[in-house]
C-alpha cells in the first residue's frame, strides 16, 4: 500500500482546486498540499474574520478566489482559469441546527452547489481526480449500534442529512453517466465522521464552543451528553482524501465509488466524554447540561464501518481518541498563550506524517 507521504508527494506540481478552502477542513488540506509542492487554488465564501484560514494567513500562500458554488457562471470561470488536475469538493453548509433554521440555503448549497461542481468537472477535460466530500450523516440513521457501510441506505430526516444523502445520489448519477465514460478521470465520494482539531472557530460545534467557554471562564453547556459520534482529528479523513486522490492520479480505477473515513469502533465516544477530556487537557473548567431541551432532533447513535478503506485503500486512523483530544486542545491552548497559529499547525502536520498506529 502507498504511504501517506508518497501520496502527498504525488500532488507535487499538480494544479489542485479546493472548494470550501476557507473552511476548517479546507484550510488544513490547502496548507498540507501546499507543503508538498501542489499548486493550490481555492474557491470559497470569504473567510470569517476569526478562522483557521486567516489564522494561517493562507491567502498569501495559495491562489484563493472568493466565490459561491451556487453561482454556476462564476464557478465555471474558476475552473476555466485553473484547469485543475485534481478537485477536492468541500464547500457546504455544514451545520445540522442551521439546516433547521435555513433549509433553503442548506439544500441550495449542498445539492445545487454540489451539482454545479459536478457539472464543471464534466466540462473540464484537465480534471483527472475528483474527491467529492459529503458526510457520515448521508446515511438514513436508524439508531443502530453497528457502523454504517458504503452500501447502506442514504437519506435523512433533518434538512442537513437529507441534503447530503441527495448530494450522494447526484454524484452517483454523474459518475455513472459521465465520469466513468471518460478516459483519464476517476471520481469518488468520501463520507467522514465528526472532525475536530485546532482552528475550528465555527458556531454551534462542540470543540469551539468548549474553547470559547474556557477562554471566558464560563461553564461548558452541552445539549445531548449521551449522544455518540465518530470523533476524529481533521487530519484523519484528509489523509484518506489525499490517498484517494493519489490513487486516481495513478489511474487506479478501483478507488472509484464511495468511501467511509472514521475512527475505529472502539474509539467512538459520547459528547460528555469529549467535554470532560477537553477540560482535562486544558487544566480547568466545568460543564453543565443545557436546561432548554426544546432543540431540533439530532441523532443519538452514529458510527461508520471503515473496513473498506482499511482493506482496499490501506488507510487507517493514526491518532486514537486521547491523542486526538490532546492535539486538538493543545492547539487552542498554544495559540491562546501567544504561539503562532501557522507554526503550531505546521508542527502538528509534521507529527501526523511521522506517526504510526499498530
Q: 3-class SS at 285? A: coil
> Do the strands 269-270 and 228-229 form a parallel or antiparallel pair, or are they unpaired?
antiparallel
Q: 23 is written with which cell numbers? A: 473552511
Lowest mean pLDDT among 34-48, 85-99, 279-293: 279-293
| pTM of the predicted structure, to 2 decimals | 0.94
Q: CB within 8 A of 335, min separation 6: which ones?
A: 55, 198, 341, 344
Taking residues 225-229, report their average pLDDT.
85
Q: CB within 8 A of 35, min separation 6: which ones?
A: 8, 346, 349
Taking residues 124-137, report their average pLDDT.
96
Cβ contact 57:47 at 8 Å: no
Q: CB within 8 A of 101, min separation 6: which ones?
A: none
Whether 358 has a pLDDT exceeding 50, the answer reads no
| C-beta neighbour count of 276 within 10 angstroms | 16
| Residue of 39, 40, 46 lying closest to 18 (CA atoms) | 40
What pLDDT was estimated at residue 292?
52
Burial class of residue 84 (count of CB atoms within 10 Å of its CB; 0-12, 13-18, 19+): buried
Q: What is the mean pLDDT of the chain?
A: 93
Taking residues 161-170, report their average pLDDT.
97
Whether 135 has a pLDDT exceeding 80, the answer reads yes
CA dist., res. 189 & res. 130, Å (int): 8
Q: Where are the beta strands (DSSP E) in the chain?
A: 15-19, 39-44, 63-66, 86-89, 129-133, 186-192, 195-196, 220-222, 228-229, 232-233, 257-261, 269-270, 287-289
Q: What is the distance of C-alpha 354 from the center of its chain?
A: 21
What pLDDT was estimated at residue 160?
94
What pLDDT was estimated at residue 147?
86
Percent of the chain with pLDDT over 70: 95
Lowest mean pLDDT among 128-132, 235-239, 260-264: 260-264
DSSP-assigned states of every residue in 217-277 = T-PEEES-TT-EE--EETHHHHHHHHHHHHHHHTT-GGG-EEEEE---GGG-EEHHHHHHH
pLDDT digits (tens, 9 = 90+) for 283-310: 987 777 654 555 565 555 678 899 999 9
CA dist., res. 3 & res. 111, Å (int): 34
What is the CATH classification number for the domain harbouring 270? 3.40.50.720
CA dist., res. 304 & res. 43, Å (int): 29
Whether 60 has a pLDDT exceeding 90, the answer reads yes
CA dist., res. 139 & res. 251, Å (int): 29
Q: Which domain holds residue 198?
A: 4-354
Name the domain count of the chain.
Answer: 1
| Residue of 255, 230, 232 lying closest to 245 (CA atoms) | 255
CA dist., res. 138 & res. 97, Å (int): 15
Percent of the chain with pLDDT over 90: 80
What pLDDT was estimated at residue 232?
95
Instruction: Label residue 142 by pLDDT band (50, 70, 90).
Output: confident
Q: What is the distance of C-alpha 97 from the center of its chain?
A: 18
Cβ contact 259:240 at 8 Å: yes
Instruction: Label residue 267 by pLDDT band (50, 70, 90).
Output: confident
Cβ contact 260:306 at 8 Å: yes
What pLDDT was estimated at residue 265?
83
What pLDDT was estimated at residue 296?
64
Amino acid at each position: 500500500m502507498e504511504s501517506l507521504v508518497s501520496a502527498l508527494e504525488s500532488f507535487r506540481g499538480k494544479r489542485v482546486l479546493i472548494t470550501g478552502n476557507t473552511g476548517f477542513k479546507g484550510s488544513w488540506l490547502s496548507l498540507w498540499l501546499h507543503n508538498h509542492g501542489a499548486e493550490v487554488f481555492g474557491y470559497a465564501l470569504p473567510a470569517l474574520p476569526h478562522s483557521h484560514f486567516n489564522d494561517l494567513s493562507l491567502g498569501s500562500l495559495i491562489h484563493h478566489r472568493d466565490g459561491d458554488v451556487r453561482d454556476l457562471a462564476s464557478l465555471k470561470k474558476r475552473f476555466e482559469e485553473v484547469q485543475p488536475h485534481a478537485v477536492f469538493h468541500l464547500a457546504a453548509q455544514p451545520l445540522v441546527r442551521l439546516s433547521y433554521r435555513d433549509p433553503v440555503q442548506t439544500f441550495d448549497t449542498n445539492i445545487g452547489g454540489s451539482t454545479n461542481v459536478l457539472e464543471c468537472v464534466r466540462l473540464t477535460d484537465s480534471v483527472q481526480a475528483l474527491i467529492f466530500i459529503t458526510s457520515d450523516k448521508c446515511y438514513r440513521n436508524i439508531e443502530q449500534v453497528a457502523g454504517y457501510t458504503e452500501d447502506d441506505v442514504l437519506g435523512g430526516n433533518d434538512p442537513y442529512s437529507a441534503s447530503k444523502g441527495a448530494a450522494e445520489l447526484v454524484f452517483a448519477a454523474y459518475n455513472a453517466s459521465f465520469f466513468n465514460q471518460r478516459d483519464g478521470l476517476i471520481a469518488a465520494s468520501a463520507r467522514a465522521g465528526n472532525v475536530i482539531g485546532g482552528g475550528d472557530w465555527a458556531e454551534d460545534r462542540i470543540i469551539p464552543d468548549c474553547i470559547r467557554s474556557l477562554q471566558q471562564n464560563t461553564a461548558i453547556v452541552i445539549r445531548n451528553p449521551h449522544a455518540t459520534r465518530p470523533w476524529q482529528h481533521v487530519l484523519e479523513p484528509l489523509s484518506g482524501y489525499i490517498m484517494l486522490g493519489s490513487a486516481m492520479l495513478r489511474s487506479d480505477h478501483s478507488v472509484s465509488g464511495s468511501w467511509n473515513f472514521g475512527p475505529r469502533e472502539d474509539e467512538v465516544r459520547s459528547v460528555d466524554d469529549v467535554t470532560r477530556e477537553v477540560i482535562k487537557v486544558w487544566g480547568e473548567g466545568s460543564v453543565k447540561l443545557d436546561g432548554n431541551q426544546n432543540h431540533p432532533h439530532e441523532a443519538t447513535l452514529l458510527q461508520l464501518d471503515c473496513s473498506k478503506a482499511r482493506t482496499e485503500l490501506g488507510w487507517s486512523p493514526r491518532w486514537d481518541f486521547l491523542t486526538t483530544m490532546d492535539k486538538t486542545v493543545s492547539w487552542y491552548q498554544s495559540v491562546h498563550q501567544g504561539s503562532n497559529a501557522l507554526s503550531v499547525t505546521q508542527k502538528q502536520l509534521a507529527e501526523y506524517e511521522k506517526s504510526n498506529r499498530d
